[in-house]
A and B are shown apart, each in its own frame.
Chain A
Amino acid sequence: DSGVTQTPKHLITATGQRVTLRCSPRSGDLSVYWYQQSLDQGLQFLIQYYNGEERAKGNILERFSAQQFPDLHSELNLSSLELGDSALYFCASSVAMQGYTFGSGTRLTVV
């Protein structure tokens, strides 16, 4: 158990729909990073939050958004879903000098 919790583990939804992915970082970690792993793009950074504030943005589509709540859990919202959004979505948190730990991921399938 990495200590980073992601729910749900699997999600199947139709094109055009909206879904919310949830991540709870390890106890004490203030940062949450979201990554997308697709077959054609590999692992790509989406967005980072630190203590409730957006810290960095990567290749995140405008249809996607995220937030981090006061209890430090984070949600990634994906809307107007397309077939190409099917992917594994990971979140990660970090502890100084120990590196980054990833959650077990949410496998999203858009049909």
Chain B
Amino acid sequence: GIQVEQSPPDLILQEGANSTLRCNFSDSVNNLQWFHQNPWGQLINLFYIPSGTKQNGRLSATTVATERYSLLYISSSQTTDSGVYFCAAFTGNQFYFGTGTSLTVIP
């Protein structure tokens, strides 16, 4: 299977700050998604982004498939953004998940 690496592993932000999370993957993929796992364990789909750029409110994502990386931008962070952010690359018949970035936003 492919390797999916996320950085940084941990991030602490002051409310209102901006951040960039990175995901590198080792091979070509059919699909790339970003998920947010909230404190209750739910995996929330943020972006389906095999290539290009998408924006949804304060969040945006960019995937450069030819260079095998994706970025998730969080602007004007809020305490409700806290949780773990996973990048998942789909190839073959399964997702390969990164180990996540644990984000804590402090008021």
Residue numbers of A with Cβ under 8 A of B are 2, 33, 35, 42-45, 48, 55-56, 58, 88, 90, 92, 97-102, 104-105, 107
Contact = CB atoms under 8 A, between A and B. Distances in A.
Contacts of A107: 41
B20 interface: no
A46 to B, nearest CB: 9
A105 B41 contact: yes
Interface of B: 31, 33, 35, 40-45, 48, 86, 88, 90, 92-97, 99-100
B42 A105 contact: yes
Contacts, number: 51
A56 B55 CA distance: 33
A104 B45 contact: no
Contact of A104 (B33, B35, B42, B97): B42
A55 to B, nearest CB: 6
5 contacts: A42-B97, A43-B88, A97-B48, A100-B33, A100-B90
Nearest to A44: B97
Given A56-B92, A90-B43, A105-B41, A98 B97 contact: no
Contact of A99 (B33, B41, B94, B96): B33
Contacts of B35: 102
A29 B96 CA distance: 21
A98 to B, nearest CB: 6
